[in-house]
């Protein structure tokens, strides 16, 4: 009996210490200040090199006065060109090793590292400074679980059949009017028929976390598993929307510059959850 009481006391003490640690443990809250307002973000522990690098640049004030220089509606806003702002020689534009994780996806509000393409960057190393924040859009499950590139290729072959002349004319009409959502709807409505007629598989299955995110808050699923996602905006998504709506030039750069200032504060994790609504994942 005494041994059981001792075990229970030790267990209770360990539990109490664990709860105390959770309530006092701190994290870095990132504030991205713009003329549209502030965005607040946390950085993931699962991407330690990206987190440490971003915090270092921010604490040194090196992001300040950089711009969101590439903005594409329903896709993302990109900025943080520290190396360009400081006129550093190209040999000093360091990169970071990829830290791609299946749990960290391109849902709306995600912070991810920009990088050069696979053709010259097969290791998918990240830019040492430039990052983007995902806007994206909401998907239905049918389009989310379809390989749209393969679908379009199959549909184009299908349209060549003389028996599909009426469908071809309908497609061309939508194309000429720039009604691309209608084009996608037509192709998706023919998915099963195309798979049977051409004996092809046009599906692109997604993980449960992807389906949940992209059919609710939205995002850019085609970037998953190819770019490092290292953080998330937990408050201020309306600022993201405003920046994404900026008028841009032919290079997707806002006509009226969107300059940022980035600040970092160490804050109790419990307070971040209470004030910003971010729930930290349980440690595994």
pLDDT digits (tens, 9 = 90+) for 139-156: 999 999 999 999 999 999
62 and 125 co-located in one domain: yes
Task: State the pLDDT confidence band at 283, using cuts at 50, 70 and 90.
Answer: low
Q: Is residue 111 part of a domain?
A: yes
72 and 152 co-located in one domain: no
Distance CA 92, CA 86 (A): 11
- Percent of the chain residues past pLDDT 70, beyond the cut: 91
Q: Is residue 157 part of a domain?
A: yes
Structure tokens at 143: 């389009």
- Percent of the chain residues past pLDDT 90, beyond the cut: 88
> The pTM is what?
0.86
237 and 189 co-located in one domain: no
Number of H helices, E strands in the chain: 11, 10
134 and 250 co-located in one domain: yes
94 and 71 co-located in one domain: yes
pLDDT digits (tens, 9 = 90+) for 33-44: 999 999 999 999
135 and 180 co-located in one domain: no
123 and 234 co-located in one domain: yes
User: Which value, to the nearest 10 degrees, does the dihedral of the CA atoms of residues 221, 225, 228, 229 take?
Assistant: 40
Q: Report the candidate in 250, 270, 204, 277 with the shortest Cα–Cα distance to residue 72.
A: 250
75 and 188 co-located in one domain: no
In the predicted structure, residue 4 carries a pLDDT above the cut 60: no
* Of the listed ranges 1-5, 114-118, 144-148, the one predicted with least confidence: 1-5
Average confidence score pLDDT of the chain: 92
Q: Is residue 269 part of a domain?
A: yes
CA distances from 114 to 43, 90, 255, 257 (A): 16, 16, 22, 20
Residues 268-275 have a mean pLDDT of: 96
Locus of tokens 């549209």: 36
128 and 220 co-located in one domain: yes
Distance CA 252, CA 110 (A): 20
Q: Is residue 20 part of a domain?
A: no
Range of the domain at 118: 27-139+207-276
């Amino acid at each position: 009996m005494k041994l059981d009481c001792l075990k229970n006391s030790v267990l209770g003490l360990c539990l109490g210490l664990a709860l105390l640690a959770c309530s006092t443990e701190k994290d870095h809250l990132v504030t991205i200040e713009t003329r549209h307002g502030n965005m607040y973000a946390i950085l993931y522990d699962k991407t330690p090199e990206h987190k440490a690098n971003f915090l270092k640049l921010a604490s040194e004030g090196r992001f300040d006065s950089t711009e969101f220089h590439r903005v594409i509606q329903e896709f993302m806003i990109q900025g943080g060109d520290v190396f360009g702002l400081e006129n550093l020689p190209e040999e000093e534009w360091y990169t970071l090793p990829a830290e791609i994780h299946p749990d960290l996806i391109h849902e709306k509000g995600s912070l991810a590292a920009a990088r050069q393409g696979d053709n010259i960057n097969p290791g998918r190393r990240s830019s040492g400074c430039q990052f983007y924040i995902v806007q994206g859009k909401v998907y239905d499950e049918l389009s989310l679980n379809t390989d749209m590139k393969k679908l379009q290729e199959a549909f184009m072959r299908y349209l060549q059949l003389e028996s599909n002349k009426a469908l071809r004319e309908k497609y061309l009409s939508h194309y000429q009017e720039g009604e691309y959502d209608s084009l996608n709807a037509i192709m998706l409505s023919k998915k099963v028929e195309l798979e049977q007629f051409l004996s092809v598989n046009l599906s692109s299955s997604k993980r449960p976390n992807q389906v949940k995110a992209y059919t609710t808050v939205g995002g850019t699923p085609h970037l998953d598993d190819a770019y490092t996602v290292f953080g998330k905006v937990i408050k201020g998504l309306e600022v993201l929307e405003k920046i994404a709506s900026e008028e841009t030039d032919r290079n997707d750069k806002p006509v009226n510059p969107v300059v940022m200032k980035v600040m970092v504060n160490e804050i109790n994790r419990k307070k971040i959850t209470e004030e910003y609504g971010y729930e930290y994942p349980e440690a595994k």
